[in-house]
Structure 1
Amino acid sequence: MIYEVRHVTRYTYAATVELTNGILRLIPQSGDGQMLERFDLSTDPPCLAPAERLDGFGNRILSLRIEKPHRALSITASSLVRVNRSPLPGSSRPWERVAEEALTVASISPDGPATALYPSRRVELFGEATDYARLSFSKHRQVNDAAMELTHRIRSDFVYDPEATEVSTSAREAFQRRRGVCQDFAHIMIAAIRGLGLPALYVSGYIRTIPQPGKERLAGADASHAWVSIWCGSDTGWRDFDPTNAQAIQNEHIIVARGRDYSDASPIESMVLSSGRHRLDVEVDVAPV
């Protein structure tokens, strides 16, 4: 599949903003079954020429700096992405062997498991999540099978409710409420997986929404999305699972950034010189070409 992706973020401020500084994680990755063919960025008001760098997870980071005073800001990222992923392998190693191997890998490269084993800023380890995962990760069970069952259980046991949580809600809080959004379900699954000693990362990106039979696809109806990447051993590498939709990622998923949790992979981080409140609106369109 080839997709045109358009991600528009709009800020409206109650008072004039004198200066905006920030970083953007909006460039889809090449690799893991997808290829970025084009990326364009525009802002209104215009920003200074952005510098680009790679972070420790291999994400492409753009700087954002706007020195012109403004009361509104729009950021538009446009991409052309080709996606062609292989199905999840039918067999995999027992999860205990993967956990043992993860402790022996000394590399801290983006592809290594080291940084994905331990608690992070937004994902603490807690016994309730670990116990929840153990129901799927029984003794000597293959890691792919256990992870797939866990994604299905989260989809079944938790309610998708955008009003139940905020961006700052912890994995423990969302787990206790049994409701939240894709960010919460990803954090819960990461806490559960890491509690077993398996490496798990947070993935931000996009998912194409499929219209109901007989209905036309609506422009702007897609959304930013989040799911989980699990290290399944040096021979297999990372495999991605979507607990919000109870599936391994398919050709409808587009990867943008990875990190230990949302803090490492959020699309936009900014700091403004101003006072008063602001309003945020986000629109994502993932259109097959």
Structure 2
Amino acid sequence: VEVTRAGPTWPLGGRAWEAVRTEAFASTSLDLASPVHFLYPTRMTALQPAITAFVAESFQPGRPVLEAAFDVARRIKAEFAYDPKSTEVSTPAIEAFTARHGVCQDFAHIMIAGLRGLGLPAAYVSGYLRTYAAPGKPRLEGADATHAWVSLWCGDATGWVGFDPTNALVVAEDHIVLAVGRDYADVAPIGGVVLGPGDQLIKVAVDVIPADETEPRQKAEAPADHDEHQAFAR
């Protein structure tokens, strides 16, 4: 995989968010990258006054859209606890928001629901995130996993920009896109029904490393009570 996405230019700016909202609703395009597909709520990102109000705190009148969106991602990172045991893949955004706990899927849904509540087009992105070993430690093989973040349409001139509320990041070259949809249900990596007498367990290990890396890696071990199915789905 080759990622050529440029990193953000600081300080973040962009057009006033109200102008972006007006431009989005005026769009007549129906191509795949059109903002019109991502303006409206879904089952997993239903409009909720509490979530909209939370996101609106970052969108003061006239504030640049990129600056405001990053502020939302930063606040989610600061105010919500990452807890893989607190939610399921079917958990709606309002439940994770109320509990202030969740995983990347939940944080993406919360941010998307709030942005759409303000009339801004926001998409759900599923993919991989390259992580880095601690100083002096080898990279762990299989430590990376599927990840989720938000893509916000910031006007025709700027296009789509990714924001990672789990890590309070503007998406750059460390995020690898697998699929884009309106919410998790559009891009779930597995689907269907299995009927049988026994239990099933899915184990997934992912490596995201530079192609020219030559340092040895150690196996990453999942905790004994780690739910492999949910880790894969998220």
TM-score for both structures, normalised by structure 1: 0.70
Name the structure 2 match of 1:190: 112
**Cα distance in structure 2, aligned partners of 1:162 and 1:181:** 6
Name the structure 1 match of 2:2: 82
Deviations 1:37-93 (A, max 9, x none): xxxxxxxxxxxxxxxxxxxxxxxxxxxxxxxxxxxxxxxxxxxx0112212244310
CA 1:275–1:107: 2 relative to 1, 3 Å: farther
Structure 2 contact 43–92 (Cα < 8 Å) conserved: no
1:124 matched to 2:49? The reply is no
Q: 2:170 aligns with which of 248, 253, 258?
A: 248
- Classify the secondary structure of the residue corresponding to 1:150: helix
Residue 269 of structure 1: CA displacement? 2.0
Letter in 2 for 1:83: V
**Cα distance in structure 1, aligned partners of 2:178 and 2:68:** 26
- 1:214-233 matches, within 5 Å, as 214-233=136-155
- 1:135-174 matches, within 5 Å, as 135-174=57-96
**Cα distance in structure 2, aligned partners of 1:274 and 1:164:** 28
**Cα distance in structure 2, aligned partners of 1:182 and 1:106:** 32
Residue 271 of structure 1: CA displacement? 3.6
Structure 1 unmatched runs, 5+: 1-80
Identity %: 52
Residue 275 of structure 1: CA displacement? 4.6
Deviations 1:6-63 (A, max 9, x none): xxxxxxxxxxxxxxxxxxxxxxxxxxxxxxxxxxxxxxxxxxxxxxxxxxxxxxxxxx
Deviations 1:169-219 (A, max 9, x none): 110000000010000000000001100000000000000110110000011
Name the structure 2 match of 1:278: 200
Count residues in correspondence. 209
Compare the two structures and name the one with the higher strand fraction: 1
- Classify the secondary structure of the residue corresponding to 2:123: strand
Q: Which one is further off, 108-117 or 219-228?
A: 108-117
Name the structure 2 match of 1:175: 97
**Cα distance in structure 2, aligned partners of 1:107 and 1:273:** 43
- Classify the secondary structure of the residue corresponding to 1:282: coil
RMSD, aligned α-carbons? 1.2
- Classify the secondary structure of the residue corresponding to 1:241: strand
Name the structure 2 match of 1:267: 189
**Cα distance in structure 2, aligned partners of 1:212 and 1:278:** 34
Letter in 1 for 2:2: R
Residue 115 of structure 1: CA displacement? 1.3
Name the structure 1 match of 2:210: 288
Structure 2 contact 51–114 (Cα < 8 Å) conserved: yes
**Cα distance in structure 1, aligned partners of 2:127 and 2:34:** 21
Which has the higher relative contact order, 1 or 2, with Cα contacts under 8 A spaced 6 or more apart?
A: 1
**Cα distance in structure 1, aligned partners of 2:190 and 2:13:** 38
CA 1:275–1:113: 2 relative to 1, 3 Å: farther
Letter in 1 for 2:5: R
- 1:59-138 matches, within 5 Å, as 81-89=1-9, 90-138=12-60
Residue 282 of structure 1: CA displacement? 2.1
Name the structure 2 match of 1:212: 134
Letter in 2 for 1:122: M
TM-score for both structures, normalised by structure 2: 0.86
- Classify the secondary structure of the residue corresponding to 1:201: strand
Compare the two structures and name the one with the higher helix fraction: 2
Residue 265 of structure 1: CA displacement? 1.2
